[in-house]
Structure 1
Amino acid sequence: MKEALFKTFVSRFLILLLNFGLVIYSTNMWGSSGKGVISIVIADLTIISFFANIFVGSSMSYFARKFRTEEILPFAYVWAILIGILIPLIFSFSRAAEYFYFLVGLSVTSSLLTANINLFVGQQNIKLFNLYTVLQQVVHILFIIIIIYVIKFTSVKAYFAAQISCFTILFITSAFQITKSADFKKISFTKGTGSKLLNYGWKTQSSAFLQFLNNRLSFYFLEYFKGIVSVGIFSVGIAFSEAVWTVSRSLSVVLYSDVVNSTDSKDAIEKTKISVRISFLVTLFFIFIMLMIPAEWYAMVFGKDFRQTKEIVLLLSPGILAIAVSNVIGYYFAGVNKLRILNVKSLAGLIFTLVSSFYIVPEWGMKGACLINSASYCLSSGVLFWRFYQITEFRIRDFILSKKEMDILIRKMLKNKE
């Protein structure tokens, strides 16, 4: 587990750097309004993804070892196409149709690729999972370069066209790799398999969807009360939050893959606590680094409109730390199929966000949105901590790496540098 965990962390850190490169480029290329458009379209895509992930998400990972690939993947592909067309069509009745076709393309291709990647996780093929998560950033950037500097299409739509091209290429290559170990002549659609995928998928995704609304509802409140420019500025601060969560998500994916394939509950809990320790300390370190950067540097890198980024990060930092740790615990509960607590914690945070946003965002704008997000993150994470430590003993050292664990990490780093 430790080797897979380290390699996953390295790949996620690379993704973090590439993602920030994209953020810096998009803010300088299209400004705060362009970044606002990108943020809203990607937020819409994420909403669609939650519906698609009922079949293409953690269901693929959870049942990868329990059913043949030919039994579960066809459900995922058909569902990805149906949802990828239907939900954007529903959105088009309340939103401008300008980005409708891009949203359909993004929805279908990203969902198809997600099904393949999550299948790799369930098969404990973390190497391919890491490869394709990194390639999503690399290939996206390559297509942006081609579309803008070769084809000379410089509209913000170039961002979405490049992303669709990226998802399409990676889906085709990953599907080809899957066909090497699966016989698609034996494709079958059985009611029993479909119902199990649906039952597990909607439970995990209902929690994830509630948590997403908790994370992104501020975008829509800001757009409504303060305009698209405020969304663009606020989204950069949120991007820093999600970049820091790269660490906990790296740990969580490896932990989840290990837990769903394990029968030793004590071992699973101990591995969760190790992941919690690493996530807590590394996240604390990254937050410290971000807060040490002068505000002028943020403005210099992202553009003059983004001088408030440091203040946004400061206000979000307690929630960033809370979510980074609770992400790990959440994946433990998903791995052992105890999903009710995930819904409870997400619902608690969402209710707080929804009620407080109506009063605070119109008055305080971005600062209010930051305070709401941070408080909501802490509340929902607190619910998860409480439940986890009901089933295990709480110890302060759960958040402190031992000398032995530090030595192992250092050896891994030195080994990988050779």
Structure 2
Amino acid sequence: MWGSEGKGVISIVIADLTIISFFANIFVGSSMSYFASKFKVEQILPFAYLWSVIVGILIPVFFSFNHGSEYSNYLIVLSVLSSLLATNVNLFVGQRNIKMFNLYTVLQQIIHIVFIVIIVYIVKITSVDSYFIAQISCFGLLFLVSAFQVLKQCNFKNISFSKEIGSKLFDYGWKTQLSAFLQFLNNRLSFYFLEYFKGIVSVGVFSVGIAFSEAIWTVSRSLSVVLYADVINNKNSNDAIEKTKVSLRVSFLITLLFIIIMLLIPAEVYSMIFGKDFNQTKEIVLFLSPGILAIAVSNIIGYYFAGINKLRILNVKAIVGLIFTVISSFFIIPKWGIKGACVITSISYCLSSTLLFWRFYQITDFHIKDFILSKAEINLLLKKVLKK
């Protein structure tokens, strides 16, 4: 409906929103999960809520001075609501309530689509604005519901702002978010280079391939969150390593299966679904596939290191990938355009993932079987999938 230009606008605004979320996540991200079992909810929740509002207003205003203010009002509301919702969802992870985490993750997609359908076909707002209005409605609704679940367990008399607790939240949060932000730049910097050198339309086309990558990573990220919740509550380091290896091989094999399936789909199908502007989608996925597989593995290992509070290696691996992305983008994207962005992104993913993989296997033994599921594990996996 909105074409490659509309998709490009959405991609840039959502990229801005993601950048803002990294600043917000200093208090509302993994620090909420990490300290949920160490402090009372009343001691950490006020920091996260207040920080969400401050960051959600100030940073979008700053962005509006740099690249226009056409969508800045949407960005402010989205930033505040998404951060408040993330606070509650990450609190569920820290409490090992993975069922609620999964539920809200799925609902964010489903309810967003429902609101888009209502706004486009019933309210008759057919511009790109409908995407952002629907997303605001989705975040607002889910925040209210999740806040009710969280706050009904709180004793409001115990709500406080402790300097010591705030300092611990900030110290853990900025270290994890620095790594995540650098990795995000690896994932999204090509958008900005493409927009500068080739225009917003090329961003729209490229972003569909990236969206498929991130859809495939859903398995890896889901396993990572479960692993992270287990590691931060697990005192047995050997048990944590073994669970990491199991998660690693499940992620590797399922991701490989999804990539093969996507590459078997004819290019014409992608054009039929997304429009003639997106006939390069299969080719983009092909160029990105080595990097997609690499990140699927490194996501697991990265969450293991975060769970044991070994954050330096996460920053190092992200910096290595980022340096390659920045330097190569100046030379390759102007000449090769979207294909160049794919190659750069894939190599960057592989470089950073290899470094993390090497560090993990410095502290543990490497075996080829780490990437092969045993018969018992296959049966257990099938049983869990069928049960769900």
Q: TM-score, normalised by structure 2?
A: 0.99
Instruction: For 2:137 and 2:245, locate their aligned partners in 1 and report how far apart those are by CA, in whole Å.
Output: 40
Q: 2:210 aligned to 238, 246, 249, which one?
A: 238
In structure 1, the partner of 2:56 is: 84
CA–CA separation in structure 2 for the residues paired with 1:414 and 1:209? 36
- Equivalent-residue separation in structure 1 for 2:290 and 2:164 (angstroms): 44
Q: Tell me the secondary structure at the aligned position of residue 153 of structure 1.
A: coil
Which deviates more from structure 2 when the two are superposed, residues 148-157 or residues 353-362?
A: 148-157
Show CA shifts across 1:304-359 (max 9, x none).
Answer: 01000011000000000000000000000000000000000000000000000000
Corresponding residue number in structure 2 for 1:284: 256
Q: Give runs of ≥4 in structure 1 deviating > 4 Å.
A: none
Within 5 A, what are the aligned runs for 1:380-391?
380-391=352-363
- The superposition leaves residues 84-141 of structure 1 with CA deviations (integer Å, 9 ceiling, x where unpaired) of 0010011011111110100001000000000000000000011111111111111111
Q: How many angstroms does 1:413 deviate by?
A: 3.0
Distance 1:295 1:406 in 2: 32
Find out whether 1:36 has 2:12 as its counterpart.
no
| Aligned: 1:253 with 2:230 | no
Structural RMSD (CA): 0.7
Shift of 1:411: 2.2
Give the partner amino acid of 2:204.
Answer: G
The correspondence for 1:330, drawn from 302, 305, 311, is: 302
1:172 pairs with 2:149 = no
Where 1:374 maps in the other structure, the secondary structure is: helix
CA distance in 1, matches of 2:206, 2:278: 9
Deviation sequence 1:185-217 (CA, Å, 0-9, x none): 321001000000000000000000000000000
Alignment of 1:188-207 (within 5 A): 188-207=160-179
Counterpart position of 1:114: 86
Give distance in 2, aligned partners of 1:246 and 1:414.
19
Corresponding residue number in structure 2 for 1:54: 26
Give the partner amino acid of 1:235: S
Q: Which amino acid aligns with 1:332?
A: Y
Partner of 2:363, secondary structure, is coil
Q: Which amino acid aligns with 1:71?
A: Q
1:45 aligns with 2:41: no
Counterpart in 1 of 2:241?
A: 269
Q: Which runs of 5+ in 1 are unaligned?
A: 1-28
AA at the equivalent of 1:197: L
* 1:326 alignment partner AA: S
The 5 Å alignment of 1:81-230 reads: 81-230=53-202
Find the residue that maps to 1:97 and give its secondary structure: coil
Unaligned segments of structure 2, at least 5 residues: none
| Aligned pair partner of 1:350 in 300, 322, 325 | 322
Aligned mates of 1:292, 1:146 — CA distance in 2: 34
Q: Secondary structure at the match of 1:72?
A: helix
Aligned amino acid, residue 59 of structure 1: S
AA paired with 1:198?
F
Deviation of residue 147 (structure 1)?
1.4
What is the CA distance between 1:52 and its match in structure 2? 0.3
Name the residue aligned to 1:396: 368
Deviation string 1:371-393 (CA, Å, 9 cap, x unpaired) is 00000000000010010000000
TM-score by length of 1: 0.92
Structure 2 counterpart of 1:311:
283
Range that drifts further, 72-81 or 134-143: 134-143
Q: Which residue of 2 aligns with 1:26?
A: none
Distance 2:81 2:8 in 1: 23
Alpha-carbon offset, residue 154 of structure 1: 1.1
- Residue 410 of structure 1: how far off its partner (Å): 2.0
Displacement of 1:145: 1.7
Q: Which residue does the alignment assign to 1:368? A: 340
